[in-house]
Amino acid sequence: MANNLIAIEPKSFTSYEEAVVSGGGKVAPLSKEVKALIWTDYAAPELLSETLSENPQIEWVQLPFAGVDAFAQILTAPVRFTSAKGSYKEPVAEHALALALALGRKLPVRIKATSWGKREAFSFYDANVLLIGAGGITQELIGMLKPFRAKISVCRNQAEVQVPGVNEVFGLGSLSQKISEADLVVVACALTNNTRGLFNLELFSKMKSTAFMVNVSRGPIVNTADLLLALDKGLLAGAAVDVTDPEPLPDGHPMFGRDDLIVTPHTADTKEIVERHFAIRVQHNVKAFLGQGPWIGQVDPERGY
């Protein structure tokens, strides 16, 4: 059996320790004998880089979230990296759908209304839905949207790889042409050099004026200033974001308080949700490290996810 000593850094949690043990490993302080590392702090890439430099014996690192953009400079290390991609797909897809329905039913307006107001709403039954990215969130949303008879398109890096349950798959190069057909656009892709700032004023100008956009991925994929300008110009009917740039938004930021924009404070997956689902990923990949199953969520350094 492979060395089963596994360190959890920089902060350990009981649920993760239990997951290591249930996967066949033994939780141990980081030392020269430890070759596997569960990394629990997304906000500390520099510390992880230092840790790997000081511990060249490390063979595998489990990263805490689906997105690994914060660790982009580290992924070139001769180490197997796995992420949590797919782990939080259910709660994040649930949140994306809730945001879309809230936009369609004008809830930002109605929640704070003090008069009867206009009778207006948008139904997503038989609507054209465009999902950006083809990972776990998209796969979960495809199932959630099935009762709506939605016509689903997916924009992904690997346009040649089909996605079950959708009407069309195309690459990023076709997005500016295809986005004009969508009633709802959900951003659920990784943050990479190709997607940073992808949603700018030029792309928003291609959307239907009646369309909605939801971002549950990473804030920098959407240009904040351009989104606000697009809403002001009526280039789209509304937007909802669970992630922002900057994040967190400072008090009084112009994204707050609008009738056409919902901002949730990165709550698609809360601390409690993350701990529960990440523990499951840890257990799976501890088994893989010990040669008792396949790896899940292995990171491709060239693609950045």
Residues belonging to the active site: 218, 247, 266
Instruction: Give the burial class of 184: count Cβ atoms within 10 A of its Cβ; 0-12 exposed, 13-18 middle, 19 or more buried.
Output: buried
Q: Which amino acid is at 113?
A: A
Alpha-carbon separation of residue 36 from 3, 56, 57, 79, 236 (angstroms): 9, 11, 9, 10, 47
Q: Can you list the alpha helix ranges (DSSP code H) found in 23-106?
A: 45-54, 89-104
Cα separation, 240 vs 186, in Å, equals: 9
Closest CA to 181 of 221, 151, 202, 142: 151
Instruction: Give the integer Cα–Cα distance in Å for 216 and 60.
Output: 28
